[in-house]
């Protein structure tokens, strides 16, 4: 995106978005290049590598899930392993939820907290684990019982330097003064974890709600503190609700190196568990641009097919008059819904993207003569302060909208 910004710097670009759920018009101000790289100061310390030094993760061939030795540990066992709970008690944002708390409000609070305190959540790193431990503390503070929280650890054995891909060329090994021994253990075995919290419903049929919490070595605000924060708020709200379905929130680890957490989760499901899944909802990169997008699908011979559930999701988005673009092919973009989709489950994935009509710019997909692509993720600009500066007010709008959408989907009897 940088070269595109350079070409059109300081121009006002008017983009009209004519999706099927009503007309949307955004006036987007493209900033001067020097404005664009302003940050809150957190980033420099944790992003020593230039972007071009990163290895594209498409080259990385992850180990098949069934070949990964695994164990699901109880929370107390994992806590005793290396963690003092209540570590974050002094600095966590307020979790007060009343009948008058607007949808999205708590998610925005959590997003800022993750951005400022839990940045650089690299797969297999201590920082990733620290974020995992923080998630558990949040669930406990909300009132989720211990027995409904699971740490699902998974290892990918092998020498990262020898196996290439997302090895040491990507994750900076020299910047690890603290927690060195723990990091070495986690790095050489590639130890990561999914954090799973379940809210039992009236039936054992399940709605899976997923978001990955790992990130590139940036604050990872859009990718994917935004999705993590959305799920956190939902897990707090639905705890007090009378739910028909059992809701399973999964915070996936190691997404950025090949969807390892979600592949692992799906690979470990029993036939019975798998048959109980009604719908998988995924949230990844909700503020990676000013346009809100969702994609619904079930896997119809590697094409996004429609069924009763996907049609009903479209109807809900329409009835709520959400300022959101429904685009089924978006459901095949690389994130944690894919392992579920490939197993035949119905999915819906949420994201926010940037739109450009510049010739030569190739995005994830083309819609209404414009390319939709990421604006900040996997770069130093993936920071709430940069995003807020670039699209004032959009963080609030997007988080609120996705929160309303998610809340509605969780209330439906499919």
Question: What does the binding site for Zn ion look like in residue numbers (CB under 5 A)?
Answer: 223-224, 284
Q: How far apart are CA 2 and CA 54, in angstroms?
A: 16
- Please state the separation of Cα 162 from the chain's center in Å: 29
223 versus 323: smaller Cβ distance to Zn ion: 223
Write out the DSSP string of 261-282. Answer: HHHHHHHT--HHHHHTEEEEEE
Q: Name the residue nearer to Zn ion (CB basis): 233 or 284.
A: 284
Distance of CA 149 to the CA centre of its chain: 19
Minimum CB separation of residue 62 from Zn ion in Å reads: 15
Q: Which is nearer to Zn ion, 224 or 381 (CB)?
A: 224
SS3 180: helix
Q: How many CB atoms lie within 10 A of CB 164?
A: 14
CB-nearer residue toward Zn ion: 224 or 373: 224
Minimum distance of Zn ion from residue 250's CB (angstroms): 14
Are residues 197 and 68 in contact, defined by beta-carbon separation less than 8 angstroms? no
Q: Which is nearer to Zn ion, 144 or 212 (CB)?
A: 212
User: Residue 185: which residues within 8 A CB-CB, separation 6 or more?
Assistant: 191
Q: How far is the CB of 214 from Zn ion (least distance, A)?
A: 8
Residue 41 exposed, middle or buried by CB count within 10 Å (0-12, 13-18, 19+)? exposed
User: Which of 284/323 has CB closer to Zn ion?
Assistant: 284
Q: How far is the CB of 122 from Zn ion (least distance, A)?
A: 13
Say if CB 384 and CB 392 are below 8 A apart.
Answer: no
Residue 201 or 210 with smaller CB distance to Zn ion = 210
Taking the complex as a whole, the smallest distance from the CB of residue 380 to Zn ion amounts, in Å, to 16
Distance CA(292)–CA(227), nearest Å, equals 13
Of the pair 128, 223, the CB lying nearest Zn ion is at 223
Measuring CA to CA, how many Å separate 106 from each of 74, 120, 326?
28, 22, 25
Residues facing residue 24 across a β-bridge: 17
CB of 270 to Zn ion, least distance (A): 28
Q: In the bound complex, what is the minimum distance in angstroms from residue 378's beta carbon to Zn ion?
A: 9
CB of 251: closest distance to Zn ion in angstroms? 12
E strand or H helix that includes residue 77: helix 75-82
Q: Per the structure block, which two tokens stand in for 115?
A: 């951005």
- Torsion angle of C-alpha atoms 130, 136, 137, 139, degrees rounded to 10: 150
Query: Residue 286 is inside which H or E element, if any?
Result: none
């Amino acid at each position: 995106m940088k070269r595109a910004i350079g070409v059109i710097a300081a121009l006002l670009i008017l983009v009209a978005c004519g999706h099927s759920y009503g007309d949307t018009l955004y006036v987007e101000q493209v900033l001067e290049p020097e404005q664009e790289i302003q940050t809150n100061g957190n980033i420099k310390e944790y992003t020593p590598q230039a972007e071009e030094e990163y290895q594209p993760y498409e080259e990385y061939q992850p180990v098949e899930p069934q070949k990964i030795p695994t164990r699901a540990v109880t929370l107390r066992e994992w806590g005793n392993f290396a963690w003092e709970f209540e570590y974050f008690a002094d600095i966590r944002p307020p979790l007060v939820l009343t009948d008058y708390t607007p949808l999205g409000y708590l998610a925005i609070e959590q997003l800022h907290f993750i951005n400022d305190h839990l940045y650089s959540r690299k797969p297999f790193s201590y920082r990733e684990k620290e974020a995992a431990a923080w998630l558990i503390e949040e669930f406990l503070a909300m009132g989720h019982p211990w027995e409904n929280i699971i740490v699902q650890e998974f290892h990918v054995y092998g020498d990262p330097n020898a196996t290439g891909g997302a090895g040491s060329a990507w994750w900076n090994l020299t910047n690890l003064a603290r927690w060195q021994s723990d990091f070495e253990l986690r790095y050489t075995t590639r130890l990561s974890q999914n954090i799973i919290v379940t809210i039992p419903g009236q039936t054992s049929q399940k709605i899976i709600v997923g978001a990955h919490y790992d990130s590139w070595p940036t604050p990872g605000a859009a990718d994917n503190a935004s999705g993590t924060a959305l799920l956190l708020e939902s897990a707090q709200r639905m705890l007090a609700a009378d739910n028909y379905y059992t809701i399973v929130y999964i915070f996936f680890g190691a997404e950025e190196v090949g969807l390892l957490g979600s592949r692992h989760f799906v690979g470990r499901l029993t036939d019975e568990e798998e048959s109980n899944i009604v719908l998988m909802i995924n949230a990844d990169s909700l503020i990676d641009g000013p346009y809100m997008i969702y994609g619904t699908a079930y896997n119809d011979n590697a094409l996004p097919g429609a069924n009763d559930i996907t049609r009903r999701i479209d109807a809900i988005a329409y009835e709520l008059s959400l300022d959101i673009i429904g685009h089924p092919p978006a459901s095949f973009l690389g994130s944690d819904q894919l392992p579920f989709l490939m197993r035949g489950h119905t999915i819906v994935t949420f994201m926010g993207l940037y739109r450009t009509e510049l010739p030569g710019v190739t995005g994830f997909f083309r819609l209404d003569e414009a390319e939709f692509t990421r604006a900040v993720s996997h770069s130093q600009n993936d920071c709430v302060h940069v995003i807020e500066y670039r699209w004032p007010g959009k963080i609030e709008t997007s988080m609120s909208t996705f929160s309303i959408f998610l809340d509605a989907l969780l209330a439906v009897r499919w």
